[in-house]
Amino acid sequence: MSGPRRQLGNWGEERAAEFLRTQGYEIVERNWHCAAGELDLIAWEGECLAFIEVRTRRGRSYGAPEESVTLAKQAKLIELAQIYMQEHPELECDWRIDVVAVELQRASLPRINLIRNAVMGG
């Protein structure tokens, strides 16, 4: 990812993490990597482990950030969550995949939308 795009992504992930904390999430990992890819945020919400994909956009010229989670991306997120759970067998818990959309808006605070259970399957 290019410099400005990476900066926007990092900024969005920070806003998302701050927002999730206000919603009662406890962030336990950021930018978790494995050979298959990366999970943006991993957090506990109560007894459930949430794998969180953060999508940040400057505007709507390419659609809302939520709309950018394609079927292929959803399949990848499921794969990554399963790998994480396999690598952490001590975690015998329910888990889900959430999406946080962060959209910059002119002259106002960013719009942040949390979608719990955004990706189903697995």
Task: List, in order of start, the domains of the chain with CATH numbers.
Answer: 3-119 (3.40.1350.10)
Per-residue pLDDT, 105: 77
The pLDDT value recorded for residue 106 is 75
pLDDT at residue 108, as a whole number: 75
Say what the alpha-carbon torsion angle 98, 40, 92, 19 is, to the nearest 10 degrees: -60
- DSSP code of 64? -
CA–CA dist 63, 72 (Å, integer): 17
Residue 112 in contact with residue 16, Cβ under 8 Å?
yes
> What confidence score (pLDDT) does residue 1 get?
57
**Is 22 within 8 Å of 36 (Cβ atoms)?**
no
Measure the CA angle with vertex 20, ends 113 and 13; round to 5°. Answer: 75
Contact (CB, 8 A) for 7 and 17: no
State the pLDDT at residue 60: 78
* pLDDT at residue 97, rounded to an integer: 98
User: What string of pLDDT tens digits covers the 122 residues of the chain?
Assistant: 568 888 988 999 999 999 999 999 999 999 999 999 999 999 999 999 999 999 998 877 777 888 889 999 999 999 999 999 999 999 999 999 999 999 987 767 889 999 999 998 65
pLDDT of residue 109: 81
Ranges assigned E (strand) in the chain: 26-34, 37-45, 48-57, 95-103, 111-119
